[in-house]
Amino acid sequence: MKGVGFDLGKELARRMGVPFEPVLYPGSIGALLDGGKAGKWDVAFIGFTPERAEEFDFAPVHLEVEFGYLVPGGSSISTISGVDRPGVRVALQEKSGPEFFFTRTLKNAVFVRAPSNPGALEALKSGKADVWGSIKPILFELSNQLPGSRVLDGRPGVDPHAMAMPKGRDLGLAYARQFIEDAKSEGLVKAAIERAGVRGVVVAPLK
């Protein structure tokens, strides 16, 4: 098991002197958010949105993930400026950072919502969508499941990622804020990104 959130969670537990117990929600941000409301996890490393901040507390942003688009082979869409046009169908994962971003920035495209990232990819495969909008690490990772597809050059924006906690844990939040700033300044976030081998991700600036 690897990933930026996994590495930071493990280091957080080590510094606190408590067991590290990963709780996995493969491909479903909705289930992860519901799990947090049900008290099934203490911290989660997820995309930050104002809507989520109404339900969870957040430490400072620790990394920024580029948004992007995946198009199938032979697509007439060759640039990111060609996406926001009438009739262009954009697949999005429900309740995700990309959904929050693209539904507010694309004014002419039509949205095809799916419950998971594999579902969004399937919409692209089956021809129900012309483009899949998500974060670039996911697009690069899953593009090999659609031969001939490609991630368009450029970035329409970035998805800020931060450590979330259930509301009401003020002492824990103060500790989390300091941990994240230390992790950025000490190079832990940068090292975790490099170990994960993800593309389209950068360390967020210090607060």
Helix (H) or strand (E) holding 150: strand 150-151
Domains of the chain with CATH codes? 4-64+159-202 (3.40.190.10), 65-157 (3.40.190.10)
| pLDDT value, residue 207 | 83
Tens digit of pLDDT for each residue in 19-61? 999 999 876 788 999 999 999 999 999 989 898 999 999 999 9
CA dihedral 124, 129, 135, 141 (to 10 degrees): 0
Average model confidence (pLDDT) across the chain: 94
| pLDDT value, residue 56 | 97
Cβ count within 10 A of residue 92? 26
